[in-house]
Every structure is written in structure tokens, then in C-alpha cells.
Amino acid sequence: MSEGGPAGHPDPRDQIAGLTFALLLLAPDLTITQVNPAAENLIGLSARKLIGRRFRDVVGFTEQWILDRLIGEEAQLVARGLSIQVHGRILHANVTISSLAAHPGWRVVTLSDAGQGERFSDEDRAGGVLRGPAVLAHEIKNPLSAIRGAAQLVARKLDEGDRALTDLITDEVDRIAQLIDRMQRLGREQPDPVAPLNLHEAIHRACDTVSAASGMKIAIREEFDPSLPPVLANEGALVQVLINLITNARDACEGVRNPEIVIRTRFVSGLVMNVIRLGRPVKLPIEVQVSDNGPGIDPALRDHIFEPFVSSKKNGQGLGLALVNKLVRDMDGRIGHERDESAGWTHFRVHLPMAK
């Protein structure tokens, strides 16, 4: 690569260093010869520790055909949502492999975290993907208020024993109104302000809320890193996210012989998300994980559970995790999930920025 460029223009090395996705250059023997800063962040190792190592010792693929493609003569691949293992953790990643025609045997590999939210970009929101529920909510709320008011007027003219039907009407209207409120929150475009806060205090507040609202007793095991610095988040939004995740974990454990929920916190290095709204990558070193030993999510829905109106619950509306996803991203964080079939656990992980 040329070291220089036209006056005032960044040279190729600077351009590659500015990429928000990981880029690795592999020699014909598949050893790593160059990496960009995004690769260091994604993998969690410095360039000094990566260069000279075999690529397959650093990045693991669960699908053998990927490795076959990597070593084949036609090393061309574009794939999305693959499971890869990097530095002891599993990621769902988008992967490209390209060969260099002028340099036989050399490979360029790019990796990007598939959980960074490309499913709904800020442009999608502006175009109405998530604004639709808010518009629909506004149109429904007015007639709901009229129905509730009419039911209350009718109830005043009935005997006490005849009010069961009007009570049913008002209860159902209230239930629908709560659903509408959630739809409106889903469609809000202005994020709530963020500030430094103690993650563990937010977790305890969420646990207390879920415990008070439910008579179902489930052991919640805490595995906290007490040395974690404050996170940069909105307290109300973060508590709501945790309430939803803990409640879902509790519901998933219903009927399990020995139900258990585990909440873990830890510091992770190298995780970066490209925040379109901010126009820059954001480091997300603070992780909170909510795990349960329930039966897990229907495999057919696992890639869609953060989308509106998708639910694995029998009577679910499919707005809870969509709202969680929005709240987390409004705090410039990310959320993902993973099913460990061998151990029988489902893990939801939220990654948040650290307060400076």
C-alpha cells in the first residue's frame, strides 16, 4: 500500500484505520500480517499480539464450510449472522473474505458485529418503521377514552350486581391503553438524557419491582463485579430494561422443576458499536447478563425477537423486547441473546458505555 496520497487526502492506511469494521490481512499461510484498530477492538487483542498468529487460532467458526472457503482457491465470501468465537466469547458476525488478484494466496477478511442494530437504522425510524406504532396509538387512544367514559356512565345506572359487564369493559380498555402506551414509547424518536449511574443499584431496584409485582418465588443469583465503574445511561430506561428482562426470565422458568435466574455483571474490553446517530464508534465495556434455565425461545423466532409484534409467549403482544431494544440503543448500547442448549440456559446480554 502506498504511504502517501494527494495533498490534503488521507492515505490508504489512514482510511483503513478509520473503518468501523474489523479488517485483517492474511498471508498465504493464513497468518495475520496486518489489522486495523477496529479489529483490535472486536477481537480484544492488540495488533502486537495478533500479527504473526494463525487466523484460525484467533477466530473460530462453527461451520466447516467457512474454513473450506477460506483456504480454497476462490476465497470469496459474504455472509451475515455467523457464529464466531473470538478471545473466549461468541459473537454473531457479518463476515467477508476476499482474495487479492495481484497477490495470489493473500486474503482480506472483514468482521462486524451483527448485533449492532442494522435491522432498524436511524433512517428506518425516520422513515416510519418504528414511528408507525406511535401514529396508530394516537388514533386509537381517543375512541378508547370515549368507550371507557361511556362504560362508567352506564355503570352508575346499574345495580351493584349488574356491573360485572361494565367492569369488564373498563378493565379491557385499561389493558389496551397500557398496550398503547408501550407502542407510543416504542415510537418516540427523542432519546431520554443519560448520566453516570451505578449499575448494581439499578439491578436491585428492578429486582425489587419484579419481586413486589409477582408472587412467584424464583431464586435470583447475583454474580457482580464490584469494581465496575459507573455506566452512562438513563436510570428510568435502564431499570425498565432490566425489569422486562427479569420478568421474561421469570416467565420462562414457569413450570421448570428448579427455576433459577442469574444476573451477572462484568467489564469486557474490545466491544465497539458504530452509532449512526452520533457518527462515531462507541466503546461498550460494561456488560449485564440476565440468564434463566427455562426452555428457551422458539428457534424460528430467535433472529426476530427484538422486532415489534414478535413474541414467543402464548398471549404476548411482542412489544416488550422491541421496547427494550429501543431503550438500550437510545442509551448508545446494544443487546443480544444466546441459547446454550447443552447447559439449558438462555442469556440476554446488555452492553453499555462507561461514564467518563
For the chain, 356 residues long, the average pLDDT of each consecutive 10-residue run is 54 76 89 90 86 90 73 70 77 82 84 60 43 58 73 81 78 70 63 90 89 72 94 91 92 87 91 63 90 89 77 63 88 91 93 91
pLDDT the model gives residue 68: 73
340 in Cβ contact with 302 (< 8 Å): no
Residue 104: all three cell numbers together: 495470489
Residue 184's CB is within 10 A of a number of other CB atoms, namely: 16
Q: What is the CATH number of the domain that holds 100?
A: 3.30.450.20
- The count of domains in the chain is 3
Quick one: 217 and 162 in the same domain?
no
Quick one: 201 and 151 in the same domain?
no
Summarize pLDDT for 122-156 with one digit per residue, the tens: 444 444 444 555 555 656 666 777 787 788 888 88
Quick one: 49 and 135 in the same domain?
no
Quick one: 79 and 132 in the same domain?
no
Amino acid at 106: W
5, part of any domain: no
Which distant-in-sequence residues (6+ apart) come within 8 Å of 291 by Cβ? 249, 261, 262, 263, 264, 345, 346, 347, 348
Quick one: 66 and 146 in the same domain?
no
Residue 106: all three cell numbers together: 493473500
Amino acid at 168: L
Residue ending a domain, among 113, 146, 168, is 113
Q: By C-alpha distance, which of 323, 350, 284 is closest to 182?
A: 323
pLDDT the model gives residue 72: 67
44, part of any domain: yes
The CA distance from 351 to 347, in Å, is 13
Quick one: 282 and 315 in the same domain?
yes
Question: Average pLDDT over the chain, rounded to whole?
Answer: 79
Q: What is the CATH number of the domain that holds 278?
A: 3.30.565.10
Length reported for the chain: 356
pLDDT the model gives residue 146: 72
Quick one: 245 and 175 in the same domain?
no
3, part of any domain: no
336 in Cβ contact with 284 (< 8 Å): no
Quick one: 273 and 169 in the same domain?
no
Q: Which domain holds residue 164?
A: 122-187
CA atoms in the 13 A half-sphere facing the CB of 88: 5
pLDDT the model gives residue 193: 87
DSSP state of 157: T
216, part of any domain: yes
The percent helix, strand, coil of the chain (3-state, each to 5) is 35, 25, 35
Classify 4 as helix, strand or coil.
coil
> 268: buried, middle or exposed (CB in 10 Å: 19+, 13-18, 0-12)?
middle
Quick one: 211 and 331 in the same domain?
yes
252 in Cβ contact with 316 (< 8 Å): no
